[in-house]
Amino acid sequence: MCPIINCDTPAALEEIIQNVLCDRGGFFAAFWAKASDIDLENSAFDEATNILSGYAMQGGGTFVRVHMDRETAQYVSTYSEDSGLYDSIITLLLKGKTAEQTRQITNAIATCGLVLHTFNNDCTERVFGIEYDGLKLNLAVSPLKVNQHIDQGGNLTGEKSSDQVQLNSKHLCAAVHGTVGIDNMPV
């Protein structure tokens, strides 16, 4: 749960145990969907653990896999006391170049609210674009969207052609964890 921060009645501190058995960074798979295609009220979410275990989709909506470079895929979520928000930046490198890929990225840019579900190299799943506010699942304060696209042509002697896509959203709480499983994504 993401508690409302109130310094007059502080939360109890708990022991933090590091996950040193599976501590690799980045992610190996990502799926995105339009936020409007997800029925947040009926998705399977455990409020006590802050874990999403299944999606309820509406209107025939589905998630779509984003095939990106596994070595460079990453997210960074930074909490700032000044804003009281987590600023999440997700970076995806898509190797190669086709007209179809450019069209697909352009469509993602035009989508005014995405949900991105990542399957991470550290054995976890994270969900960006939605959050739990202590009462229910909601869309992020600032919807997840493509805020940068670098269309790289490369050069003959080294740099390869690629598209780098950066997504951004702002959340009241840290990104939701998931246990959906890659084979259970509604695609």
- Residue 4 is predicted with a pLDDT of 53
Q: What is the mean pLDDT of each run of 10 residues along the chain (187 residues)?
A: 56 69 83 97 94 97 95 95 96 93 94 95 94 91 96 87 96 94 97
- In 35-121, where do the E strands start and end? 44-46, 51-54, 64-66, 74-80, 85-95, 114-120
Q: Nearest-CA neighbor of 70 among 28, 34, 33? A: 28
Predicted confidence (pLDDT) per residue in 9-23, tens digit: 666 777 776 666 667
Predicted confidence (pLDDT) per residue in 22-64, tens digit: 677 889 999 999 999 999 999 999 998 999 999 999 999 999 9
- Residue 6 is predicted with a pLDDT of 52
